[in-house]
Amino acid sequence: MSVSLLLVLAACILVMAILYSSVGHGGASGYIAILALFSLAPAAFKPTALVLNILVSAIATFYFARAGHFSRHLFWPFAATSIPFSFLGGYLSLPTHVYQPLVGIVLLASACRLFLRKYPEATDVIPPPIAAALVVGAALGFLSGLTGVGGGIFLSPLLLLLGWGRVKEVSAVAALFILVNSIAGLLGHIGSLQAMPRYMPILAVAALAGGITGSFFGASRIPASGIVRALSVVLIIAGFKLLFV
């Protein structure tokens, strides 16, 4: 890859990291779309996206938790089952021509629902039933490991649409959820690290810079309504990626 093309790729990773981290996400689905557009080897998609996801979601976790938005009571039941199932999903390699379009449609529908509804930060929430959270966590963890995304892209809209968490609380929980599931998914697919491009450090620096910028503004500067709008854009990008890339 030429230097100029590499700089364009890094710039795209930077922008995607800013957008995703502003809502507490790592950006794996966006990175996969970018890597596909730049014609990288498909074998590099999953490990590259997971590594960048880990970096950005770790930063987002720090900023949203420091701002006081994290809720361990909302986090633990989803994470308890998602981590082992994310490891399992990362270990498996299954055909994607069936579930990817279905997931893409779900994400686009969620984006439309979120964009049309209002979510003031002070809205009262209903704690999720433990049994439901455990089942949802397992399903999202498996899907996370299987697809190479951190799972927050599915968890965030679900929590908001069901009224199980406040906007920035959801972003904080999603950030740590993505972090632990990305690590588990990568451990389940550890051999794939050999397929990462040799210029991975440059992409990592771009992702870190974007993660710091987006997380800072998302955690303390952007209002709840802005977070929801940004999340809608993220879901649209991810949905189109799954449908058409």
Amino acid identity, position 209: A
Q: DSSP letter string over 222-238?
A: S-HHHHHHHHHHHHHHH
pLDDT given for residue 237 in this prediction = 83
Per residue in 142-165, pLDDT (tens digit) is: 887 777 676 888 899 899 888 899
Read off the pLDDT of each residue in 10-30 and give the average, rounded to a whole number.
91
pLDDT given for residue 68 in this prediction = 93
Q: Is the dihedral of CA 72, 76, 82, 86 positive or negative?
A: positive
N-to-C CA span, the chain: 21
For residues 171 and 69, is the Cβ–Cβ distance under 8 A? yes
Which has more pLDDT, 124 or 201?
201
Q: How far is residue 66's CA from residue 94's CA, in Å, rounded to a whole number?
A: 38
Cα 237 to Cα 174, 215, 227, 245: the distances in Å are 18, 19, 15, 11
Per residue in 70-123, pLDDT (tens digit) is: 999 999 999 999 988 988 877 776 666 766 676 778 778 878 877 766 655 555
Q: How far is residue 40's CA from residue 203's CA, in Å, rounded to a whole number?
A: 13
pLDDT given for residue 99 in this prediction = 62
From 3-17, 20-34, 167-181, the region with the lowest mean pLDDT? 20-34
Q: How far is residue 207's CA from residue 219's CA, in Å, rounded to a whole number?
A: 17
Q: How far is residue 33's CA from residue 158's CA, in Å, rounded to a whole number?
A: 23
pLDDT at 19 over 80: yes
Q: How far is residue 106's CA from residue 113's CA, in Å, rounded to a whole number?
A: 11
pLDDT given for residue 1 in this prediction = 76
Domain boundaries, the chain: 3-244
Per residue in 131-145, pLDDT (tens digit) is: 999 999 999 988 877
For residues 39 and 8, is the Cβ–Cβ distance under 8 A? no
